[in-house]
Structure 1
């Protein structure tokens, strides 16, 4: 292909594709992928450090997943599970509920995306409790349907010009590392943020009218940051003391991403409801809301049915995905390789004064790029870095303007990981030496 094949295809797409439907980063068209690499329309191959926004934890075109898709597609692509079960979905449902970090009988309902799974949390919570209010957190990304968008709080463009959004939603501050005061102890930080959490309940929000508290235990698009364990435990206890359901969004952080099946397993509490998507079917459209059986039976059909949700091909891909995670020990692999990544970025922090906080939970990392003089996030330096890393042959993006998002497929090899480290270190070195400049479309890049 010609050198301009990416540009040619993008030009063809531009007249037919809405600008609201893509967060811009690089002008490439992805043609193929294998394992932890992707290849663009110009036949250039990159190490993938994004894993399709953590939607391909098993890597691109894993042979076992591909075969499962091909075999099922040859037999039955779709017959709506809204009316009849299919054999793949019938096998998958009990398999997935068995993995849920919830004691007692657990049931699920299928969806097409993490967005509708989070909508389902709102539906089931209101139905079960008979209450209207939903509490979520600043910095959250829960999806782009009206319900999931309403409980999100990561970009003004997710509310600008499209209101009114869903009523009855109240947002409280997420205890992210940027909220911590200089010299503040962890205990004092947790107490201060928990007091901020309680403020609405003490001033205008009756706890007895709140149906659910929905949280990402580790925020994804909010910057890959983990809430303090003691904070989660306090919120969990508060919820249960007031008859409020505690729900977690595992769409980004689930399916082995953090070295455990679910990120909530790092906190020692059990959710009442949880949403799953993205890597559930290795990127094919499939999601699930899972929860305690009595909650999941609080609605009657057709309160949560979709024509293609739980279709045979997506369910076959999900069954194969679970096979791969188990057979290839991807939880352990995420933990082991995540430690290598954590060591690399912490070593880099010693060399480069523009690296701030390093957060790594398995192969799941957020690295802050800061202005050394002020200690504040440096969006321009971050954009220079990610673009240079792209030029050198790896795909990485930014969050919050100044956070490097590090989420490679869990099947990445140690050799590929070390090659990515070389690329990143070269970009770090060139930034330090003042050799990097902003790309021409810098003002379009990022969230």
Structure 2
């Protein structure tokens, strides 16, 4: 009945063909030929009336789910009062309420301040600005595998896709990338301690050969890399980097855009390490997907610049900050941190069982409702992009949206409000796809080479 009621004259393909004439290919990573129309909770529906369980949460930007009634109400009520007056010149009641709430939630002791942005990219650009201003130094250290955004500053910090820099150089000067200690860098039979020591030695090489430590302003890291594969930094490695930064007057900054706002079962992914950052970027789910970000940090750092060093016409406007205030309320009142922890354990148990059943399921990483599942060639142990593409496409056909990272990793990030029934339905779809791959029943879609990062 739902499908019949929603069915339109134009199909997904009709609309996509019309859009294609006016929409640049550089602006979308291709996965499925659907045009989304609406959503509720963990469900989304396309213009043909097909329903899907969302296992992506709009790239972790809808942790509170789609069209949460409390968030919708806040947006509607504020839009009826005032949609926009630039925060570059005047405060508004919603942003003025939100700023101290975020400052209080930040895992930073002492006086804390923040600035607004429209996206995570803006927030990471702000880290560059304030770190350089406060320290009087120019260099910023970031990591391979990182995704920090698409503005020139943030994409210069990123290291996850060649197409983020191809034909666009030169990048922002003063950015030095070091290898991230991802599990794929680990040698056979290498111990945890030996792995950390080897990767930290690679971290130190620039400082020992060409990079003066007293010219480095900040180190920026995703405590748990998102688009790099949902990978947690080894705690011992993180501690070494942190201690090095503190010993040398370097600011320690973290990107919480993808992994913050309850995604990992805590407000912030850095809270899994017992470390306080100097600066942090927040976005995506901050306003349940509305265009809002923030860069939060120690007051003395954020007072190192004066206006208009970091102002944007619409950043922190009344509607987006109303959505963010409601989002914080929902996360707190509906205990979404605890929910992420509990359902994350259930998801981890499911994928561990799948790992035992199917030799092509490699490493499983789950931090709350936040997971990366490696799909490998059982013979070589290497990532299997073809098998991953077959699986994600079949899961989509069965009724769930899931995508790949690094070609051979399934990205599992459902809204934190997903019901246990929906989760079980998604698990059944995933298991069916795994079983069909094991039986040799899955074929790659015709455009397989176009799909994914």
**Structure 1 position 66 matched with structure 2 position 72:** yes
Measure the CA separation in 1 of the matches of 2:113 and 2:10. Answer: 50
Shift in Å, 1:338: 0.2
1:279 to 279, 285, 301: 285
2:315 aligned residue: 309
1:138 aligned residue: 144
1:227 to 213, 224, 233: 233
Shift in Å, 1:259: 0.1
1:420 to 421, 426, 431: 426
CA 2–89 in structure 1, closer or farther in 2 if over 3 Å, else same = closer
Measure the CA separation in 2 of the matches of 1:323 and 1:233. Answer: 33
SS at 2:424's partner residue? helix
Measure the CA separation in 1 of the matches of 2:35 and 2:234. Answer: 39
TM-score with structure 2 length normalisation? 0.98
Measure the CA separation in 1 of the matches of 2:405 and 2:68. Answer: 28
2:153 aligned residue: 147
Measure the CA separation in 1 of the matches of 2:300 and 2:106. Answer: 15
Give the aligned length: 447
1:325 to 312, 325, 331: 331
> What stretches of structure 1 of length at least 5 have no aligned partner?
none
Measure the CA separation in 1 of the matches of 2:214 and 2:153. Answer: 21
SS at 1:65's partner residue? helix
Shift in Å, 1:5: 1.1
Shift in Å, 1:199: 0.6
SS at 1:314's partner residue? helix
Shift in Å, 1:38: 0.2
SS at 2:107's partner residue? coil
Measure the CA separation in 2 of the matches of 1:39 and 1:202. Answer: 54
2:59 aligned residue: 53
Measure the CA separation in 2 of the matches of 1:75 and 1:441. Answer: 47
SS at 1:288's partner residue? strand
1:438 aligned residue: 444
> What stretches of structure 2 of length at least 5 have no aligned partner?
1-6
How do 1:154-193 residues align onto structure 2 when only pairs under 5 Å count?
154-193=160-199
RMSD over aligned Cα atoms? 0.6
Measure the CA separation in 2 of the matches of 1:94 and 1:253. Answer: 21
**Structure 1 position 91 matched with structure 2 position 135:** no
TM-score with structure 1 length normalisation? 0.99
